[in-house]
Chains A and B, each alone.
Chain A
Amino acid sequence: MDHNEQQETTHKPVKRKEMSRRQFLSYTLGGAGAFMAGGAILPMIRFAVDPILQKKEKGAFVKAIEESKVTSEPQQVDFKVHQVDGWYESDPKMQAWITKDEKGNIFALSPVCKHLGCTIGWSGEEAPNLYHCPCHGARYNKEGKNLKVAPKPLDEYQVKRENGWVYLGPLEPNTRV
């Protein structure tokens, strides 16, 4: 190749910090290799990490129960949310325990135990007036405060009241305890 010869003729007789021919070739080789690998793989990496860079859709509020039916005794309410998971759209059932406190504020707790994710129940024989988790006996009070086993209080749904109905939104950490 002529550029090899060029390489040699342009060699200056003065000894300076110069690359040897072999080093130069190795660096060019590394560069070309990196370009090829990068050109092919970078788009794929971006493709693979897309889920963490996708804009998270804010959960919509869903009509759950009439305001007048909410009492100071927790009530189990089933409701459906529309969920888009990639190419799969579904309407999974969700559950909430809805209660009115002394000031008349309505709050809704998630039934998922903060210990290991089992489903809690209200006021069984074992734990009157408490939330009880059947798996490892975690207990929460009416506000969702963790009393036993569980490390954190129960999550809370965002609540919106409109025209006499209670609307439930996305989950957030408990704000009451």
Chain B
Amino acid sequence: MFKNMYNWIDERLDITPMWRDIADHEVPEHVNPAHHFSAFVYCFGGLTFFITVIQILSGMFLTMYYVPDIINAYYSVDYLQHQVAFGAIVRGMHHWGASLVIVMMFLHTLRVFFTGSYKAPREMNWVVGMLIFFVMLGLGFTGYLLPWDNKAYYATKVGLEIAGSVPFLGDYIKELMNGGTIVGAQTLTRFFAIHVFFLPGVLLALLAGHFFMIRKQGISGPL
């Protein structure tokens, strides 16, 4: 039955070549950890993506309970962590996953750097990758504020002070991110919107570009 359904769709949209291209392309030996154990360094990119998927999923589920409001944010986090079944696990996944993504991405970046894989013709992919790195740091920074505990509040205050000391534009950047002159209700909603809609949107677009370029250019050759 599935075969018939597949054929029906394939007849109309010709989807076979699309996934065939992904499924059948050959992967060279030098990135295969089964051939050379040291090739595990080539896994970090894939692992970054894996953890990113976990982040997106756990984040989606967390918003079922979380409210971005300075009165209720803390209590909704407290509630989902302690009163909801598996709440500690889901929040834990999102919290520790954020750190793990940074670690994996850092290792992936180092691998690409030290194997010189960013050289021609893959310059653009490196730039896109670095942009992904910055977006991830942005996600980490905006996500830190959301539980609205002291740690969140003061770390954000310090972060915004740093942003405020950028020459010329600093005060504007700070006020824009604050959504006013203090770190308060409007900062929280702003950070929530950035954390949940804007940056993930940018991230997905960049990831699509990253993968498209890998597929188009292939993995860099052995050293």
Contacts and interface: CB of A to CB of B under 8 A. Distances in A.
A47 B54 contact: no
Interface of A: 1, 36, 40-41, 43-44, 46-48, 50, 53, 86-88
A46 B76 CA distance: 18
Given A40-B53, A46-B86, A87-B75, 13 more contacts: A40-B54, A40-B58, A43-B89, A44-B57, A44-B61, A47-B61, A47-B64, A47-B86, A47-B89, A50-B84, A50-B87, A87-B76, A88-B72
A86 B64 CA distance: 12
Contacts, number: 48
Interface of B: 34-35, 50, 53-54, 57-58, 61, 64-65, 72, 75-76, 78-80, 83-87, 89-90, 93
A111 B202 CA distance: 51
16 contacts: A1-B34, A1-B35, A40-B57, A43-B90, A44-B86, A44-B90, A47-B61, A47-B80, A47-B84, A47-B86, A50-B84, A50-B87, A86-B65, A86-B76, A86-B83, A87-B79
A87 B78 contact: yes
Contacts of A46: 85-86
B34 A44 contact: no
A53 B34 CA distance: 45
Nearest to B92: A43
B85 A50 contact: yes
Contacts of A50: 84-87
Contacts of B72: 87-88
A4 B29 CA distance: 14
A1 B53 CA distance: 29
A88 B64 CA distance: 15
B87 A47 contact: yes
Given A1-B34, A1-B35, A50-B85, A44 B75 contact: no
Nearest to A2: B34
Contact of A43 (B53, B79, B83, B86): B86
B61 A86 contact: no
B93 A40 contact: yes
Nearest to A1: B34
B40 to A, nearest CB: 14
Contacts of A48: 61, 64
Given A1-B35, A86-B65, A43 B93 contact: yes
A44 B79 contact: no
